[in-house]
Structure 1
Amino acid sequence: MMKFRVNLRGFMATRYPLTLVMRSVTRTASFSSSSRAKWECGISMVQGASRGIGLEFVKQLLEKDDKGHVVATCRNPSRAKGLHDLQNKFAERLSILPLDVTVESTIEESAKSIREKYGSLNLLINASGILSIPDVLQPETTLSKVQKSSLLFAYEVNAVGPILVIKHMWPLLKIGGGSGTERDVAVIANLSARVGSIGDNRLGGWHSYRASKTALNQLTKTISVELERKKDPIACILLHPGTVDTDLSRPFQRNVAKDKLFTKEFSAQKLLHIINNVKSSDNGKFFAWDGQEIPW
């Protein structure tokens, strides 16, 4: 205490008015208190949130934790009707930001906005992904249909994009926990797919989608090793949502058994249960919707 007085009176007081020093201390204390209060409520980010399971993640995060805040990102917020409907209901707790995983500057801008408004994150869900686009990208049932453009496009969206999001959000993910969870670590959850497992590949085909999800798995695993080495209180995991009844899977549902085709509500609920109970020892693991680990 004596040292503090000497520093304050001997150094600070000779250069700055005491009132200015005290205002600075007050602002710092106020900011810390405010940041702590926001953190205790939990700040979650869902990337790829305009529709499908990403939108459902946002909905359930808002509904199941009446104090938590959610940042939802997508390419075209003005066209994201589902998000705007949720914002009308949860105006104080939902922020919508533009983010295109193929344009790194939009990722940087989102990170800057989150830092300025919230200061930190305790959950990042990368939910975006592509499987098919009419006249642009179609799953390849045979090697003869593989195209360089399809491989590169799927890789850019399904693998490169989520990793760039992690790169820019990582500095914000420094505190673990959050209300409504059992966690003592922050969580990065990347939506992958069982078809990305090399060990589980018995049918072949779907070259671009498989390869891009396998790349996502490897990149996520590599990040998890770095997080552990640096002793960051973050667990980076991969999740397989099952075959979910969304726009992504709809053209390919014909041969899916009814009990294997999940609603987005069911899948998001199962995955959030896994996320909310993640432990530091789960860092780098690949989980299916039912909590079972998937082989690499």
Structure 2
Amino acid sequence: MAVAIVQGASRGLGLQFCKVLASRADVAKVIATSRSAENEAALHRMQSQFPNKIVLINVDVTKENNIKQVVPKITEESTGKIDLLLNCSAILHPSGKGETSLRDVSLEGLRTTFETNTIGPLLIAKYFSPLLLKSSGLLGKQAGKKHSGILVNLTAKVSSISDNHVGGWYSYRLSKSALNMATKNLSIELGRGKSKVICVALHPGTVDTDLSRPYHKDKLSVEDTGKCLAWDGNAIPF
């Protein structure tokens, strides 16, 4: 029985990932985290729908000390191992809309967007990867090569440098491109040794809250690690 963590679980894709994972017979527990997870009505309703399967823990990805402090609690709740870690939280821009031109770019906008979209997921990987390495590979497709846990960073097609034809959205594009690089780095470092963590950047497509998901069909294998994948499984150029 697998244990999953969904970071950024209070709304949108994160909330729906929690629901889909909790409904799976092969998932024993979903640890739902966000800045205010313990106070979110939607998550409490989901807890009632799936008794004893969903745990709510407040984690602020923009504060490293907060991430570090919750590791013991998450270790206890996960019984010492994580099979899946999904980094879902992201913002377009503090203003709520992306920059349309260079004159809209600001240090504060860049900093805030990077803290949530890039630095936060990387710090989550830093502190939770030891738990991923202890997984027995309960999720994902076995393709003759042993793997341990799976780390998924939600990215966006607009992060692709070669696919950028219209410009704009500086903070969001840059932060997601940097997240792709972080994912590639993680795939190399966490792919060494006998226990290999599969690390992928996943573009969910233009979504409603009803997910299109190659992931939940257990198609990921060691050969996918380090890639940026679209919702249909096709690779997106960096």
TM-score higher than 0.5: yes
1:160 aligns with 2:104: no
**What does residue 232 of structure 1 align with?**
195
Following superposition, the deviation at residue 243 of structure 1 comes to 1.9
Query: Distance in 2 between the 1:223 and 1:137 partners?
Result: 30
Number of residues of Structure 1 aligned to a counterpart in Structure 2? 232
Query: Matches of 1:149 and 1:213 in 2, distance apart?
Result: 17
Match of 1:84 in 2: 44
Amino acid at match of 1:76: S
**Distance in 2 between the 1:219 and 1:67 partners?**
27
**1:86-165 correspondence runs (5 A):** 86-117=46-77, 118-133=79-94, 136=95, 138-165=97-124
Which structure has the larger Rg? Answer: 1
What's the counterpart of residue 289 of structure 1? 231
Any idea what SS the aligned residue of 2:81 has? coil
What SS class does the counterpart of residue 191 from structure 2 fall into?
helix
Runs of at least 5 residues in structure 2 that lack an aligned partner in the other structure: none
Following superposition, the deviation at residue 92 of structure 1 comes to 1.2
RMSD: 1.7
How far 1:89 sits from its partner (Å)?
Answer: 2.0
Match of 2:186 among 193, 210, 223: 223
Q: Tell me if the contact between 1:139 and 1:206 (Cα under 8 Å) persists in the aligned partners.
A: yes
> Who is 1:182 aligned against?
141
TM-score (norm 1): 0.74
Q: Does 1:50 align with 2:13?
A: no
Counterpart code for 2:219 = N
- The TM-score normalised by the length of structure 2 is 0.91
Query: Deviating runs (4+, > 4 A) in structure 1?
Result: none
**3-state SS, counterpart of residue 266 of structure 1:** coil
Measured after TM superposition, the shift of residue 199 of structure 1 is 1.2
Residue identity (%): 40
| Runs (5+) with no aligned partner, structure 1 | 1-40, 245-262
